[in-house]
Structure 1
């Protein structure tokens, strides 16, 4: 699903509050520790906090207490209908922002110090089987520019385990001769090189040589993936493509670009790839994030136990 936020079309925020927000976000941008997508999400979350403050007559940050933040989180759940993961992200943005205000001398105390962090259920990512991935790719067998683009997008997502932001941000300059690998720009603007399989390379080449030139203005664009009017494909557009193709393939409605990334990792681990290699390919900062893929195929583990254990 497209990225969720807590902003809406509302009146302009008070200048003195928005000024601190802008200074905070600029400091994060200069530090370079956050991707532009995280910064955009933080901005939406902080806008939600500032508007919530305004609606309740809270005009200064030093008027915000722990109880107020608890009420804000409750409002996110009930008033905005956000999932617990989105509430946790909003709290992370608010907590980091208020820490910044303390460091800058705008606040003398941190109201988040005793604020509990939302408990998130430990869920395993959904994955497709290899057969389901093939069904998904089969929906792009047509010869038009749209089929060529969608095929290339799906192949890159699955063959490289790329994030959707990495795919839509891919430029022609990142494509080496021969298309045997891709240079992806990941979180924190960190670059990694990932191999590109023959099928994915063929699909990408077919789109670039035969499909992309059909779109108006494509020659002037450096982005690899474009929309119907020749503008760069957005994250939301990529989500819609994957969901539309999944529906055509008769797959679960929850299939998303992330599902293909998870499927890539799961299939690599199942085939015997070591976790360090998968971690490198996915661009995970921590091996702990990658380890969850060792727990996905519970039935396979049980079957192997029955087969090899003397009392299985």
Structure 2
């Protein structure tokens, strides 16, 4: 795909990505997605205009060009959510390009984002979350690996960590205290409290682990001593949920959703939960309000005498 892009366009793309990393603190996964989406866009526009012409095709885009690109993406099977993500990346790239090249960005920026219904998080019940942790520990025939998996999932549920954040902990974070400094998406730091049950789970793992913790090495190790692959945690939770009869939505990330929802149910402040989760926007955290409301309505409908 990138072969159809002229060197000038490739350079512009890389410079934009570098700016997104430096100025906005964009995470590596975000930058990878940006690159793929914008490469697809530039490639289409270049071929749509008849071949490699440097940045020329991007300087004279029309409404018809944008419609053709969106039809092409739709034809490839992209849904509204995926289309919205791609368009967002293209608009961000084009704002940057317009500032530096003097292009008129109105055609691109005025392209309407497809509407889609945001999926609400699907948390586990408190009993299911506890059962998930217990079941995860029992999946492995090797004791220390079972304790490792349980410690990771306990951090997801007990501290609201993303799986990448839990697996980024190092021996330098030991011994775990009452709080942890976590570096999340975009390099943003936050302080999260560590419950005694989470500290105990990590301590049990460390005692049983055959690899000595090192300040600059991953805290959670694979069987051969390397940094633990997140896919292994995803797999063990998948086995546990099937054993427990939980839905397919019972993933490692669902443990983080459960952390937030259960805090909210217990009267937690929404802005405090935003800080604990490391959400850049309160609107992201507000999704949990809808989740909690849905839960309350289900309880109401099931228990109210006049329901």
Pick the TM interval, shorter chain: 0.7 to 0.9
Q: Does 1:130 align with 2:126?
A: yes
Q: Distance in 2 between matches of 1:14 and 1:65?
A: 20
Shift of 1:126: 0.8
Match of 1:35 among 12, 27, 33: 27
Shift of 1:307: 8.5
Equivalent residue number for residue 38 of structure 2: 46
Match of 1:271 among 260, 266, 289: 266
Which runs of no fewer than 5 residues in structure 1 stay unpaired? Answer: 1-8
Deviations 1:105-130 (A, max 9, x none): 16344431320012120332111111
- Tell me: CA distance 1:220–1:77, structure 2 relative to 1, closer, same or farther (3 Å): farther
Q: Distance in 1 between matches of 2:184 and 2:68?
A: 35
Equivalent residues of 1:102, 1:110 under 8 A apart:
no
Q: Distance in 2 between matches of 1:220 and 1:287?
A: 34
Q: Does 1:103 align with 2:102?
A: no
Q: Which segment is superposed worse, 162-171 or 21-30?
A: 162-171
- Tell me: CA distance 1:232–1:91, structure 2 relative to 1, closer, same or farther (3 Å): farther
Give the SS at the match of 1:104.
helix
Equivalent residue number for residue 74 of structure 2: 77
Equivalent residues of 2:45, 2:65 under 8 A apart:
no
Match of 1:285 among 280, 283, 297: 280
Equivalent residues of 2:124, 2:255 under 8 A apart:
yes
Shift of 1:283: 1.7
Which runs of no fewer than 5 residues in structure 2 stay unpaired? Answer: none
Q: Which segment is superposed worse, 180-189 or 56-65?
A: 56-65
Q: Distance in 2 between matches of 1:16 and 1:308?
A: 66
Equivalent residues of 1:168, 1:238 under 8 A apart:
no
Point out 4+ residue stretches in structure 1 off by more than 6 angstroms.
305-309
Q: Does 1:19 align with 2:11?
A: yes
Deviations 1:222-277 (A, max 9, x none): 22233344333345554444334323332212322321111111111112222232
Equivalent residue number for residue 112 of structure 2: 116
Equivalent residues of 1:176, 1:182 under 8 A apart:
no
Supply the RMSD in Å over aligned alpha carbons: 3.0
Q: Does 1:258 align with 2:248?
A: no
User: What does 1:1-312 align with in structure 2 at a 5 Å threshold?
Assistant: 11=3, 13-56=5-48, 57-59=50-52, 60-79=57-76, 81-105=77-101, 107-142=103-138, 143-173=142-172, 175-211=173-209, 213=211, 222-297=217-292, 298-301=294-297, 303=299
Shift of 1:138: 1.9
- With normalisation by structure 2, the TM-score equals 0.83
Give the SS at the match of 1:183.
strand
- Tell me: CA distance 1:179–1:105, structure 2 relative to 1, closer, same or farther (3 Å): same
- Tell me: CA distance 1:103–1:245, structure 2 relative to 1, closer, same or farther (3 Å): same
Q: Which segment is superposed worse, 244-253 or 144-153?
A: 244-253
- With normalisation by structure 1, the TM-score equals 0.82
Instruction: Give the number of the structure whose residues are more often helix, by fraction.
Output: 2
Give the SS at the match of 2:288.
helix
Q: Distance in 1 between matches of 2:238 and 2:79?
A: 20
Aligned length: 298
- Tell me: CA distance 1:90–1:232, structure 2 relative to 1, closer, same or farther (3 Å): farther
Q: Distance in 2 between matches of 1:226 and 1:55?
A: 47
- Tell me: CA distance 1:262–1:178, structure 2 relative to 1, closer, same or farther (3 Å): closer
Q: Distance in 2 between matches of 1:267 and 1:200?
A: 16
